Each structure stands twice: as structure tokens, then as C-alpha cells.
């Protein structure tokens, strides 16, 4: 049964920044911030060897036609995930080194622990480590204490494996409480929390008022910075329906270019490119990604960066003030 704690429920917002929109004022006059995100899940997915009752049916090469096995191993699925860890991870590292760009890793803690060499290489090359959960599986029915403990364990394991405590999070799964517990959990661990990407409703970061801070004096409220994510540019759509159409990389490449062009023209926005090691790391798709990266590299005034650095910029440029006052002040500065 799903547990819903009223304290952690945040109201929906259908107005956002309205007709005026919002200019994030990226550093050095950049027209757009581009955030590549690598979802690293290989080894954290469902597998009988890890005590699960079924094999992983989601986001692997056979798609919906692959099915799953109950109480049995499914080597086809296992090996597709292993390809992401064994081969694709290093292909993507070489690709980003070619362009001198850094990405944010949404790291499933158990998965990254199973590939410690890759974990250390991520940190060595300056890529950001964010938490993507302890395992890559649902935990929608956890009670509040189980919820908190699950998030804490993911953080502590990632710190153990990488030497870094994550400052941001994207689970994509969880209870109705999980995503709004983050600031509280980081604080309990005495760690710095900068951002969450548990939202899909805008093209710029924004501050979220936390209802349980309403009783505090305004100078003690911290809010939560949200850096929106998306599904439409997600390479997972190669295995979703409706998706990018078979395995053809060109449709994906064109969609990324169209998205970039619109946001670049508008200015002040950010673009997400969500990637999965085992998906985009297949040679044909990876070449399409490289073509898109070359397209971006040829454009002036583009900031390719991590979510950590986006959060630092936004926090320093638009400090939090409750009930939208930070927006009013930012717009006055731009007049």
C-alpha cells in the first residue's frame, strides 16, 4: 500500500514563469546550457542472482518483445546490461574526452560499486556523480523511515566507491515522499545538497518552496533547487513506445538538433541529453551522438556543463527567496 505523508506533498504549478518566461543568465553570455546525463544502471537492475524474483524486463535491446523470466536467469538481458558496463562505458568516456566536456552521472550505487575502475575514472576525468538510487528498481511502497534509509544508503555507497558525496539526485522512482525528502536527508548526513532533477515541467532551473519551512523565519528557509529533466531527448526511447523508431540513430540525432536549435534561438534555456550506457553506447547510436556533439561544438556561446555547475551558477545568480520573490528580484535586475 502506498504511504502518503501530507507534510511532504507539494502543490502542482500550472503557471510557471508565464508569458515572460525566465532567462537563466548563463555565464559568459552563453545562450544555452547543455547538460549531458549518463544514467549508469548496469548491475543494479533486477536479476535472480541479486535476490529478485524476475529478470529485468525494462530498457534493454529486445524492448517489449524480450519479455522476462520468473525465478530464472535471462542471459540475453543480463548480457545487454553487461555490454553497457564492459564496452559502452569506456566508449563514452573516450567520446567526451575527445570534446573536453563533462557530464553528470546518475549513478545507481550498487551498479557503480560493481565497476570500481569506471567509478574512479569518472571522478578522475571531472564528471559529476549524482545518486540514482541504491538499486534500479521500484520502491513505491516504502514507509517513511525505509524511504530515508534507502536514500542514505545510496549516498554512503557512492561516497565509498567514488570518494565523493553526491550533491544532487535523480531517482525517477520512489514513494510520494522520496523526492522532497532529499534536503532533509543530506542535512542529517551533514552533507551539502545542491540540486534535484525530479521534475520535467520547464526548460530552466527554478526554486521550490518547501511547505514544512513555512513556519521558519524567511532567512532560515532554504527551499530546494530543481533542475528539470526530460524524457523526449532520452535515448531510452529507442526501447520505448512511442520511440525513435527501430535502432536508427539518425532520427535521434535530428531530434536532438531540432531541440537544440529551438532552445538556442530562445536563449537563456537549458537542454537535457539523457543517455544510458547500454543504449547510446552501441556503436551506431554512439556515432549519431558524436555527430550531434560536433554540431553543438561548432556553435558559439554554448555552455556544456554538469548539473553541479548549473546549480552553483543558479544559486549564486538567483539566491533563494520564498514565495517566488527571487523571480521578482531577478526580473528587476534585468530591467
Looking at the chain, how many residues does it have?
335
> Three-class SS of residue 254?
helix
CB neighbour class for 145 (10 Å; exposed up to 12, middle 13-18, buried from 19): exposed
Q: Which CATH homologous superfamily contains domain 24-334?
A: Glycoside hydrolase/deacetylase (3.20.20.370)
Indicate the pTM of the whole model.
0.95
How confident is the prediction along the chain (335 residues), in pLDDT tens digits per residue?
Answer: 788 888 899 999 999 999 999 999 999 999 999 999 999 999 999 999 999 899 988 888 887 778 899 999 989 999 999 999 999 999 999 999 999 999 999 999 999 999 999 999 999 999 999 999 999 888 888 999 999 999 999 999 999 999 999 999 999 999 999 999 999 999 999 999 999 999 999 999 999 999 899 899 988 999 999 999 999 999 998 887 766 665 567 889 999 999 999 999 999 999 999 999 999 999 999 999 999 999 999 999 999 999 999 999 999 999 999 988 988 877 776 55
Assign 3-class secondary structure to 79-125: HHHHHHHHHHHHHHHHHHHHHCCCCEEEECHHHHHCCHHHHHHHHHC
| Residue 90 vs residues 195, 228, 283: alpha-carbon distances, Å | 27, 27, 12
Instruction: Output the nine-digit C-alpha cell for 168.
Output: 544532487
Return the DSSP state at 135: S
Amino acid at each position: 500500500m502506498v504511504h502518503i505523508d501530507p507534510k511532504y506533498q507539494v502543490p502542482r504549478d500550472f503557471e510557471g514563469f508565464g508569458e515572460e518566461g525566465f532567462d537563466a543568465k548563463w555565464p559568459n553570455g552563453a545562450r544555452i546550457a547543455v547538460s549531458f546525463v549518463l544514467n549508469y544502471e548496469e548491475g543494479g537492475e533486477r536479476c535472480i542472482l541479486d535476490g529478485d524474483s524476475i529478470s529485468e524486463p525494462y530498457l534493454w535491446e529486445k524492448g517489449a518483445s524480450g519479455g522476462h523470466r520468473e525465478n530464472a536467469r535471462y542471459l540475453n538481458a543480463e548480457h545487454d546490461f553487461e555490454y553497457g558496463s564492459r564496452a559502452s562505458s569506456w566508449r563514452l568516456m573516450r567520446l567526451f574526452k575527445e570534446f573536453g566536456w563533462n557530464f553528470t552521472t546518475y549513478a545507481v550505487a550498487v551498479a557503480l560499486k560493481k565497476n570500481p575502475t569506471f567509478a574512479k575514472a569518472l571522478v578522475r576525468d571531472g564528471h559529476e556523480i549524482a545518486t540514482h538510487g541504491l538499486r534500479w528498481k521500484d520502491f513505491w511502497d516504502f514507509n517513511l523511515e525505509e524511504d530515508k534509509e534507502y536514500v542514505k544508503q545510496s549516498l554512503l555507497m557512492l561516497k565509498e566507491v567514488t570518494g565523493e558525496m553526491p550533491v544532487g539526485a535523480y531517482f525517477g522512482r520512489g514513494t510520494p515522499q522520496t523526492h522532497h525528502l532529499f534536503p532533509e536527508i543530506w542535512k542529517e548526513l551533514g552533507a551539502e545538497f545542491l540540486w534535484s532533477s525530479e521534475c520535467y515541467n520547464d526548460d530552466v532551473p527554478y526554486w521550490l518552496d518547501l511547505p514544512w519551512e513555512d513556519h521558519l523565519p524567511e532567512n532560515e528557509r532554504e527551499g530546494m533547487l530543481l533542475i528539470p529533466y526530460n524524457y523526449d531527448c532520452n535515448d531510452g526511447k529507442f526501447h520505448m513506445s512511442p520511440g525513435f523508431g527501430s535502432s536508427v540513430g539518425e532520427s535521434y540525432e535530428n531530434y536532438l538538433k531540432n531541440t537544440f536549435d529551438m532552445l538556442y534561438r530562445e536563449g537563456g534555456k537549458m537542454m537535457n541529453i539523457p543517455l544510458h550506457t547500454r543504449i547510446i553506447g552501441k556503436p551506431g547510436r554512439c556515432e549519431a551522438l558524436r555527430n550531434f556533439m560536433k554540431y553543438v561544438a561548432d556553435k558559439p556561446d554554448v555552455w556544456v556543463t554538469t548539473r553541479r555547475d548549473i546549480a552553483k551558477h543558479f544559486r549564486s545568480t538567483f539566491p533563494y527567496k520564498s514565495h517566488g520573490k527571487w523571480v521578482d528580484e531577478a526580473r528587476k535586475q534585468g530591467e
